[in-house]
Structure 1
Amino acid sequence: MILSALITSVGINLGLCLLFFTLYSILRKQPGNITVYAPRLVAEGKAQQGGQFNLESLLPTAGWIRKAWQLSEDEILSVLGLDAVVFMRIFIFSLRVFTFAGVVGIFILLPVNYLGNQLNVDISDFSHFSNKSLDSFSISNVNNGSNWLWIHFCAAYVFTGVVCYLLYYQEYEYISSKRIAYFYSSKPQPHQFSILVRGIPIPSGGTYSETVDSFFIENHSSTYLSHSMVRRTSKLQGLIGDTEKLYKRLSHLKLNNHTPQRFRRDGFLGIFGRKVDLVDHYEKKLEDLEDNVRLEQSSSAGKEVPAAFVSFKSRLGAAVALHIQQAVNPTKWVTERAPEPQDVYWPFFSDSFIKRWICVLVVFVACVALTILFLIPVVLVQGLTHLDQLETWFPFLKGVLKLTFVSQVITGYLPSLILQMFLSFVPPIMIMFSSMQGYISLSQIEKSACIKVLWFTIWNIFFANVLSGSALYQVNVFLEPKKIPSVLAEAVPAQASFFIAYVVTSGWTSLSSELCRLTPLICSFFKRVFSGKDGDEFEVPSIPYHSGIPTILFFGLLGITYFFLAPLILPFLLVYYCMGYIIYRNQLLNVYALQYETGGKFWPIVHYSTIFSLVLMHIIAIGIFGLKKVPLASSLTIPLPILTLLFNEYCQKRFLPLFKSFPMECLVKKDREDVNDPTMGEFYEKLVTAYRDPGLMSLRYSRSSTEGYNSPLLHAARV
């Protein structure tokens, strides 16, 4: 790619970013869009729906940036929990890393690369500067055997040291202390006193519930409190969800009492059919739904699953039961940490141990198949980055491809755009795959999907592009480890221009579209226009960890890998992280709500990804110094990945246990504090029913089951 093609891509995406920022500044002030751009504030009663239109709202302003900047970490922690703090710490960590890398890369490495003459580039000719290849700014342009390569060698060592220092002192140690402090400051929570038990032996002449009760009374008599059996209620969950939605819609109609909205046609999109009073129509439909729910509840009450939530009188009692094998047969009485009640993923309980094991294998095969299938758009994209290949495939396009602007758009913009379009389908697919694996909570599903998306992105966007662009038929190199550094050293620098354009297209524009929330905006518009529904029906989203974290970490991998290979990528990465820092703070302030809390357990993913990126950089450095005829530098780089892996091993021993479970010291301290807490009696009463299946709770919606519509929503669905 030539410099002018990159400038074209930057110009297009910069224009799109400014357009999205302007649209957001205007649209967020429109009364009808408040449930799109501030749904959490509306749900919490901190913002009002409605309002009057005025001309000033059509003027773009930047006040939202100031509010997002002023949001403190303590405010994020109090509203959205430690997971949201960890999410923002990824941006802070990345900004620190790439600010240092940018200073070294732009002011030291980039001039050294450009002053080289390996590619026979005339550095004194500025008349055709825009037509220069981006390779002239990379390490490929440094002469073979040049002593200037020792600057890159030193930069690799210094950069690795800085990253490891920031990982240890600024992040891992800080987040670990935050995790302990968050635990100490928290009130007693049901999941702290409970575990999940699976693989309950088949009872002889009794029930699973009686078996659980007798087992824990016999073996944990001093700490055992109660248990809640799990039943198959998947169908009930759907019925209850439909009932709750209908009740909310009915309550809104009765509260607002808008006469025009009460009467609509009952046909398609409210256009066809006979006119009906929606209040009466919804009341009858609600009663029918409740009857169906009660019938299903009566038939599901006895369908026990060999799984139960077991609660204890102390945190230490729950921890002892969790970490000690309960039976001689390790597949019986299998214990797991209980999630928060609202975090439980109920559908998994219908799966047996064998089914879950088989599902893991099926998901693995499906992930491999998806990875192979994704190579099709990757090969297509690489064809677009090489116009000579495109002309060979499509000879009739030769005339069009010779146009300067067309060739610049095709090579600088389209490849990243096409790849991003295909990649947008991956996160929901990985969520579906993870939900099939038998995880007990939504947080575990999202964490598993996060890891899947991350490695899928690294392989398909990084390695597949690198190999298909420069060594498509050298995949078998991974069977010969000695050749890996040299092949990567040849292939990775050759794809620098593509990944610079990828950061601009997939990074900048995607962040801007996240701010505008185009899909919810379009859905809200069509609901108001075609369905006649107000903003009463809206969903408060949770933070998309499974898609957001892999994207941030992948750009971090690109920055670390190309730090000394092609430092021109670093300014674009800094812009991305600055934009992400402001945009996601704004979204945390207005949009996202707390769905669950893991206590910062996403951070180890960040740590491992960073270590992998560093080791990958080292392997490429070993190969590049070898290709550049500096064998001593190549040999002296070998200790670098070894030292990095030793550092990672130390971090595992020092910090990782704190993210798996809290130490006994913390548990005992909290239990002693609870002894003097007068509210613990009330907490134990609630703990007995905390994990009761929401599908079996009684309904109180229609007039036949409650005295009025002023009663609270079905609390059972919010266990």
Structure 2
Amino acid sequence: MILSALLTSVGINLGLCFLFFTLYSILRKQPSFVTVYEPRRVAEEKSQQRSYFNLERLLPSPGWVGKAWRLSEEELLAMSGLDAVVFMRIFVFSLRVFTFAGIIGFFILLPINFTGDQLSIEFSDLPNKSLDSFSISNVNDGSNRLWIHFCAVYLFTAFVSYLLYVEYNYISSKRIACFYASKPQPHQFTILARSIPVSSNSSIPESVERFFTENHSSTYLSHNVVHRSSKLQGQLTDADKWHRRLLHLKATNHPRGKFGRDGLFGLFGRKVNLLDHYEKKLRDIEDNIRMEQSSLAGKEVPAAFVSFKSRYGAAVALHIQQGVNPTEWVTEPAPEPHDVHWHHFSASFIKRWIYKIVVVVACFVLTVLFLIPVFIVQGLTNLDQLETWFPFLSGILSITFVSQVITGYLPSLILQLFLRFVPPIMVWLSSMQGYTAFSQIEKSACVKLLWFTIWNIFFANVLSGSALYQVNVFLEPKQIPRVLAVAVPAQASFFITYVVTSGWTSTSSELFRLFPLICGFPKRKLSGKDDDDFEVPAIPFHKEIPKIVFFGLLGVTYFFLSPLILPFLLVYYCLGYIVYRNQLLDVYEPKFDTGGTFWPIVHSSTIFSLVLMHIIAIGIFGLKKLPLASSLIVPLPVLTLVFNDYCQKRFLPIFKAYPAECLIKKDRDDQNDPSMPEFFDKLVTAYRDPALMPINYSGSDRTPFSP
């Protein structure tokens, strides 16, 4: 790719970013869009309704930037939990890493690369020169200047490792501090027991009661057996929908609004009195729900939430094998009551094991199928190849601006559009694995999407673009550094444009909330919902964290190969830091809190990025005829893996479970808390399936799940 094509892509994306920022700063002031841009504040009744008109509402203003910047970490922790703090710490960590890398790369390595003459670059026609002139490929083979790159790799690795240790230590201590400061929570005293064995002369509740009374008599408190209520979940959703419609209709004062058609979207079917129609529909659904609830008495699932009198007692039951057969009485931590995913409790141990294999196969098939758009994208980056495939386009491709848009902007845009379908698929695949909490599903989807992105966006583009016919050399491990050293630098220009398109524009569109804005209006009109009837969204960690981490991988990998990518990454991380602080303040509301357990994913992926950089460095110094530097890099990945092993042993156990020291200290503090008896009374019913709770939609305006 030539420099002018990159500048064309940057210009297009800068224009889109400016447009999104301008429209956001105007639309957020309009009363009709308050549920789009400030749903969290509306739900918390903190948003100021602007019913009067003034000129200031039509002018863009940057006031929201200062508000987001002033948000402290303590305020963020209080309003959104530790997961949100960890999410923003990823941006802070990345900014520190690439600020340091940018100083070295942009002011030292980039001039060295550009002043080389390996590619015979002429300064007279710079806009039409390849971006390879800014990469290590332009440094002469065997040049002593390559030792500066060698030192940069060592210095950068040491700095990133130091920051990783500092962040791991900070977040782990923050996790313990939050645990000490927290009030007693039901999931701290509860475990989930699955694959419960049942004899012919006893029921599941009796088996649970007998087993834990005999084996945990001093700490056992109560249990709640899970029922097969998946059918009820759908009926409750329908009842809630009709109840909301009925409340909205009753709030409408115009008589005409109470008549309509009972067909699709209210456009078809016979004309009815909507008030009577909705009330009858709601009563019928309630009757069906009550009949289904009464029939669930003997439809228990061999799983139960078991609560204990102390956190330590729950931890002992959780971490010790309960039965002689390890496939029975399988215990796992209980999620928060509102985090429980009630649909997948019926699967046995064997079924869950089979589902995991099926999901692995499905992920592999999805990865293979995604190679099709990757090949299309790589074809667009090569005009000669594109003209070979489509000769009739040769005339259009000869136009300078068109060729610059096709090679500089279109490939990243197409890849970004295809990637939008992947996160929902990963969530669906993770839900098939039998996880019992939405947070577990999201963490699993996050890991799947991260490695899918690394393989399909990084390795697949690298190999299909530069070394497609050399894949067989991966059967010889000694050839891997050499193959990557040839393939990775050749794709630097594509990944720079990918950062601009997928990073800058995507982050700006996140602020603008284009899809909620477009879909919200027809949804309200067709479903009869008003602005008071909306759901506050939760931040999609499974989608955003892989993107942030993947950009980190690109920055680490291309730090010494093509430092030109570093300023674009810094702009992305600065944008993301401000935008997501604003979104956490005004838009997103936490649906669960894992206690910062997303950070180990970030740590492991950063270690992988460092090791990948080292492998490429070994190959690149070998290709550049500097074998001594290549040999001296070999200890670096080993030292990095040793450092990672130390961090995993030092910090990772804290993220898996709280230590006994913390549990016992909290239990002792609770002994002097007068509110604990009331808490234990609520704990007995905390994990009762909401589908089994009595309902009363039509009788009164009480909340849907009030007993």
TM-score range, shorter chain: over 0.9
Structure 1 residue ranges (4+ consecutive) displaced by more than 6 angstroms after TM superposition? none
Give, in whole Å, the separation in 2 of the partners of 1:715 and 1:513. 39
Q: Aligned ranges for residues 334-345 of structure 1 at < 5 Å?
A: 334-345=330-341
Q: Which is worse superposed, 257-266 or 604-613?
A: 257-266
Give, in whole Å, the separation in 2 of the partners of 1:49 and 1:699. 34
671, 682, 689: which one pairs with 1:686?
682
The aligned counterpart of 1:437 is: 433
CA deviations over 1:569-624 (Å, ceiling 9, x no partner): 00000000000001100100011111011100000000001000000000000000
Give, in whole Å, the separation in 2 of the partners of 1:52 and 1:258. 24
Give, in whole Å, the separation in 1 of the partners of 2:611 and 2:57. 51
Q: Which is worse superposed, 234-243 or 134-143?
A: 234-243
Q: Which is worse superposed, 429-438 or 298-307?
A: 298-307
Q: Aligned ranges for residues 446-461 of structure 1 at < 5 Å?
A: 446-461=442-457
Q: Aligned ranges for residues 588-607 of structure 1 at < 5 Å?
A: 588-607=584-603
Q: Aligned ranges for residues 565-604 of structure 1 at < 5 Å?
A: 565-604=561-600
Kindly indicate whether the alpha-carbon contact (under 8 Å) linking 2:175 and 2:596 is maintained by their aligned counterparts in 1: yes
Secondary structure of residue in 1 paired with 2:302: strand
Q: Which is worse superposed, 33-42 or 459-468?
A: 33-42
The aligned counterpart of 1:187 is: 183
The aligned counterpart of 1:426 is: 422
Kindly indicate whether the alpha-carbon contact (under 8 Å) linking 2:245 and 2:528 is maintained by their aligned counterparts in 1: no
663, 667, 689: which one pairs with 2:663?
667
Amino acid in structure 1 at the alignment position of 2:610: L
The aligned counterpart of 2:85 is: 85
**1:394 aligned to 2:390?**
yes
The aligned counterpart of 2:164 is: 167
Give, in whole Å, the separation in 1 of the partners of 2:311 and 2:555. 43
Give, in whole Å, the separation in 2 of the partners of 1:85 and 1:391. 50
Kindly indicate whether the alpha-carbon contact (under 8 Å) linking 2:690 and 2:705 is maintained by their aligned counterparts in 1: no
Kindly indicate whether the alpha-carbon contact (under 8 Å) linking 1:249 and 1:536 is maintained by their aligned counterparts in 2: no
Amino acid in structure 1 at the alignment position of 2:228: R
The aligned counterpart of 1:493 is: 489
Kindly indicate whether the alpha-carbon contact (under 8 Å) linking 1:701 and 1:714 is maintained by their aligned counterparts in 2: no
**1:140 aligned to 2:137?**
yes
The aligned counterpart of 2:532 is: 536
The aligned counterpart of 2:63 is: 63
CA deviations over 1:163-193 (Å, ceiling 9, x no partner): 0111111x11110110000000000000000
Kindly indicate whether the alpha-carbon contact (under 8 Å) linking 2:31 and 2:49 is maintained by their aligned counterparts in 1: yes
Give, in whole Å, the separation in 1 of the partners of 2:240 and 2:677. 32
CA deviations over 1:87-132 (Å, ceiling 9, x no partner): 000000000000011111000000000011111112xx33x11111
The aligned counterpart of 1:33 is: 33
Q: What TM-score, normalized to structure 1?
A: 0.96
Shift of 1:300: 2.1
Secondary structure of residue in 2 paired with 1:300: coil
Give, in whole Å, the separation in 2 of the partners of 1:437 and 1:268. 35
The aligned counterpart of 2:703 is: 712
Distance 1:515 1:614, change over 3 A: same
Kindly indicate whether the alpha-carbon contact (under 8 Å) linking 1:269 and 1:530 is maintained by their aligned counterparts in 2: yes
Shift of 1:257: 4.0
Kindly indicate whether the alpha-carbon contact (under 8 Å) linking 1:252 and 1:536 is maintained by their aligned counterparts in 2: no
CA deviations over 1:360-413 (Å, ceiling 9, x no partner): 011000000000000000000000001011011111111111110010000000
Q: Identity across aligned pairs (percent)?
A: 73
Q: Aligned ranges for residues 183-262 of structure 1 at < 5 Å?
A: 183-255=179-251, 257=253, 259=255, 261-262=257-258
The aligned counterpart of 1:410 is: 406
Distance 1:518 1:259, change over 3 A: farther
Q: Aligned ranges for residues 286-435 of structure 1 at < 5 Å?
A: 286-435=282-431
The aligned counterpart of 2:126 is: 129
Kindly indicate whether the alpha-carbon contact (under 8 Å) linking 1:138 and 1:565 is maintained by their aligned counterparts in 2: yes
Q: What TM-score, normalized to structure 2?
A: 0.98
Q: Which runs of 5+ in 2 are unaligned?
A: none
**1:4 aligned to 2:1?**
no
Q: Which is worse superposed, 23-32 or 604-613?
A: 23-32
Kindly indicate whether the alpha-carbon contact (under 8 Å) linking 1:446 and 1:545 is maintained by their aligned counterparts in 2: yes
Give, in whole Å, the separation in 1 of the partners of 2:688 and 2:546. 35
Shift of 1:279: 3.1
Secondary structure of residue in 2 paired with 1:527: helix
> How many residue pairs align between the two structures?
707
The aligned counterpart of 1:267 is: 263
Give, in whole Å, the separation in 2 of the partners of 1:347 and 1:478. 43
**1:617 aligned to 2:613?**
yes
624, 631, 655: which one pairs with 1:628?
624
The aligned counterpart of 2:477 is: 481
CA deviations over 1:620-653 (Å, ceiling 9, x no partner): 0000000000000000001110110010000001
CA RMSD of aligned residues (A): 1.4
Shift of 1:530: 4.1
Secondary structure of residue in 1 paired with 2:590: coil
Amino acid in structure 1 at the alignment position of 2:492: A
Kindly indicate whether the alpha-carbon contact (under 8 Å) linking 1:261 and 1:532 is maintained by their aligned counterparts in 2: no
Q: Which runs of 5+ in 1 are unaligned?
A: none
Secondary structure of residue in 1 paired with 2:221: strand
Distance 1:28 1:276, change over 3 A: farther
